[in-house]
Amino acid sequence: MNTRHIGDTGIHVHEIGYGAMHLSINPDRRPTEQESITLLQRMVDELEINFIDTADAYCADDTETGHNERLIATALDGERRQRVLIATKGGSIRPGGAWKRDGRPEHLRAACEASLRALRTDRIDLYQLHAPDPTVPVEESVGTLADLQREGKIIHIGVSNFNADQLERAMREAKIVSLQNQFSVVNQREDMAMLRFCEEHHITYIPWNPVGGQGIAPKLGDQSSALEQIAAAHSLPAHAVALAWLLQLSPAMLPIPGTRKFEHLAEDLKAADLTLSQDEMASLNGTA
C-alpha cells in the first residue's frame, strides 16, 4: 500500500482517502443507513482505505447535524476504528439546508464537543475549520482550535477553503497540518501556487471534489479531450486518471474522492497503480 503523510506529524495513510459527504448531504439520493455502513466497512476491510473526511455539516439540514459523523462512528465501531484516521470539520451550519459559515469561538467549541459525541471518541484525529467566516477574524477561529488542541480534544488542526493570506495568518495561531481546497484536473484555478506553498511548509493538501464534483465524473472526458484520450489509452475511467494526475502532481497531495458505490471507489484506487508519462502530465496541466 502506497501512503501519504499528514503534514510532518509522522502519520501516514493510504494515498487515496474517502470523502464521506455524499452519504448524507442529499436525503433524496443518499444510500440507506445500512448501505452506507456496508460501504464504509468494505472500504476499510477490502480496500484498506484508512483516511476518511467528514464534517458536522454533512447532513440535509441543521435538524440532523452530525448525521455523517454518526454513520462513520457506527460503521467503524470496535477494531476498525483503530485502523482509520478520521478528519472532521466545524464552522459551517445548515439552516434550512442552506450553507452558512459560523466561525465564532463559542460555536466552534460547541461544534467540536458535538462532533466528539457523534464520533464516540474523546479526541478528534484531525479537526478542520470548514471555511473562514468573513465576520470573524481568522485568528479568533483558529485560536479556538488551538485552545481545544491544548485541552486534548483534538490532536491536529487543519483548515479548508482558505486563501494564501488566511492560511499564513492561521499558521501564526496554530500548527496547521492540512489545507482542504477545491482542486482537480478540470478545476485547477489559482491553487497551484497554494499547493507549492503547502509543499514548502509541510502541509498536506487535501483536494475536495478531486475529480471535478459529484455527477461530473462520467463527463470528465467531455471537459478535457486530453483526459479522455489518456483514459482510453490506459483502458481506465477518466476519474481514475484524474486522481493519478493529482497523485503525481505532488507528494503533498491526498485526494479524497467521494462516491456512494463501492465499485466506483475500487475504480478510483486504480489511480494508485497508474504512472502517467511526462507528456501525459504536461497535457493535463492547465487544462481547466
- Domain residues for the domain of 57 are 3-284
Q: What is the pLDDT of residues 185-240, one digit of tens each?
A: 988 766 889 999 999 999 999 999 998 754 444 456 556 788 989 999 999 999 99
Confidence (pLDDT) at 215 = 45
d(CA 224, CA 227): 5
Q: How many domains does the chain have?
A: 1
Query: Taking Cα atoms as reference points, which of 86, 120, 121, 124 lies closest to residue 108?
Result: 124
Cell of 75: 460503521
H helices within 59-121, ranges in order? 67-75, 105-118
d(CA 111, CA 116): 9
Q: What is the pLDDT of residues 256-270, one digit of tens each?
A: 999 999 999 999 999
Confidence (pLDDT) at 236 = 95
The residue-averaged pLDDT of 141-161 equals 98
Amino acid at 191: D
pTM listed for this prediction:
0.94
Question: Does 288 score more than 80 pLDDT?
Answer: no
Q: What is the pLDDT of residues 65-120, one digit of tens each?
A: 999 999 999 999 999 999 999 999 999 999 999 999 999 999 999 999 999 999 99
Question: For 187, how many CA atoms within 13 A lie in the half-sphere containing its CB?
Answer: 15
Region at 201 (left for phi over 0; alpha for psi -120 to 50; beta for the rest): alpha
Identify any residues that bridge with 164 across adjacent strands, giving them in sequence order: none
Confidence (pLDDT) at 42 = 98
Lowest mean pLDDT among 177-181, 216-220, 282-286: 216-220
Q: Say if CB 194 and CB 179 are below 8 A apart.
A: yes
The residue-averaged pLDDT of 247-276 equals 96
The CA-atom distances, in angstroms, between 133 and each of 62, 141, 142 are 18, 8, 11
Q: What is the pLDDT of residues 1-59, one digit of tens each?
A: 789 999 999 999 999 999 999 999 999 999 999 999 999 999 999 999 999 999 999 99
Q: Which residues, in sequence order, are CB contacts of 229 under 8 Å at separation 6+?
A: none
What radius of gyration do the chain's Cα atoms show? 18
What DSSP character marks residue 4?
E
d(CA 5, CA 148): 23
Confidence (pLDDT) at 214 = 45
Confidence (pLDDT) at 50 = 98
Identify any residues that bridge with 52 across adjacent strands, giving them in sequence order: 18, 86
The residue-averaged pLDDT of 130-159 equals 98
Q: What is the CATH number for 25? A: 3.20.20.100
Confidence (pLDDT) at 212 = 77
